[in-house]
Amino acid sequence: MKIPNRIQPLVDDGLIDDVLQRLKSGKEADVYTVLCGDKIQCAKVYKEATQRSFKQAVQYQEGRKVRNSRNARAMQKGSKFGRKQQEETWQTAEVEALFRLANAGVRVPQPYLCIDGVLLMELVTDADGAVAPRLSDVTLDEETAIADFNTMIGNIVRMLCAGLVHGDLSEFNVLLDADGPVIIDLPQAVDAAANNHAESMFERDVNNITEYYGQFAPQLLKTRYAKEIWALYEDGKLTPETVLTGLFVEEQHDVDMDSLMDEIITAEDEYYDRQRAAKERDQQYE
């Protein structure tokens, strides 16, 4: 096939020998299979901000650290240089997340390098060596669904223990290879401790995965892993080895309505006393 313009520099530099086919065109990138020496790899070509359809990018970037203070100021001002730096930060976020998660034992594609908005990484394949299908394209029996669901929960826990929340996790960005699910598409991954939206994103991620596997094993729909895992994380008790139950009971506190009404009445009385005192002072000076 014709070599895309963004990939051509990597071909010129000898990093890629040929482009075999385009696998998909997504909301933030186009993905190709490429030949590197005698190995077939995956090249993810990120789209420019004007072409991306991914929404609420600012919400996902909250809490991300920019090492260079000049770059950070430029990004805040929204200058041309700042927008360029923001694009580079968005693109390198996935590379950093992939390396961090691979080191933490999370099943993700192995990243190799990222140059000028092109990420080279492992091509995930099935048992026959073909490109692994997305989870959304497969049908599972109940036993396999439960086993893969437990694997996914384990990977999600490892991600959180590594300080990251996927932020856009669903059956559309999980591949299924010979050994089970592999998580992909991480440019929007958020810092679990620094992003104010991390908890809601985490809950949405877990619920999306639960609903998908729940199609094949309805008993999974009764689990509450999102709440349980996040509560353990906030309490500093979450590790990759933590035994989970899938159960969670919201804390409930009895409200003493009589005491509450007394406090409200007292506050009102104090307010009106201050108002009367202020009016009396004003009348003294008239």
For 165-201, write each residue's pLDDT tens digit. Answer: 999 999 999 999 999 999 999 988 999 999 999 999 9
Does residue 96 share a domain with residue 27?
A: yes
Residue 157, pLDDT > 80, answer yes
Structure tokens at 42: 């995956």
Report if residue 72 sits inside a domain: no
Angle between helices 198-214 and 225-234 (to 10 degrees): 150
pLDDT of residue 74: 42
* Cβ-proximal residues to 109 (8 Å cutoff; 6+ apart), any chain: 42, 98, 121, 122, 123, 124, 182, 184
Class of residue 268 by CB neighbours under 10 A (exposed 0-12, middle 13-18, buried 19+): exposed
Does residue 179 share a domain with residue 267?
A: no
pLDDT of residue 126: 93
The percentage of residues in the chain with a pLDDT greater than 70, rounded to a whole number, is 81
Does residue 132 share a domain with residue 231?
A: yes
The count of domains in the chain is 3
Domain limits for position 138 = 125-249
The percentage of residues in the chain with a pLDDT greater than 90, rounded to a whole number, is 64
Report if residue 68 sits inside a domain: no
Question: CB of 1 within 8 A of CB of 35?
Answer: no
Active site residues: 168, 185
Continuous segment of H or E residues that includes residue 40: strand 39-46
Does residue 93 share a domain with residue 144?
A: no
Q: For the chain, give me the number of helices (H) and strands (E)?
A: 8, 9
Does residue 111 share a domain with residue 189?
A: no
Does residue 135 share a domain with residue 241?
A: yes
Report if residue 61 sits inside a domain: no
Does residue 151 share a domain with residue 189?
A: yes
Of 72-76, 81-85, 90-94, which has the strongest mean pLDDT? 90-94
For 230-250, write each residue's pLDDT tens digit. Answer: 999 999 999 999 999 999 877
pLDDT of residue 66: 44
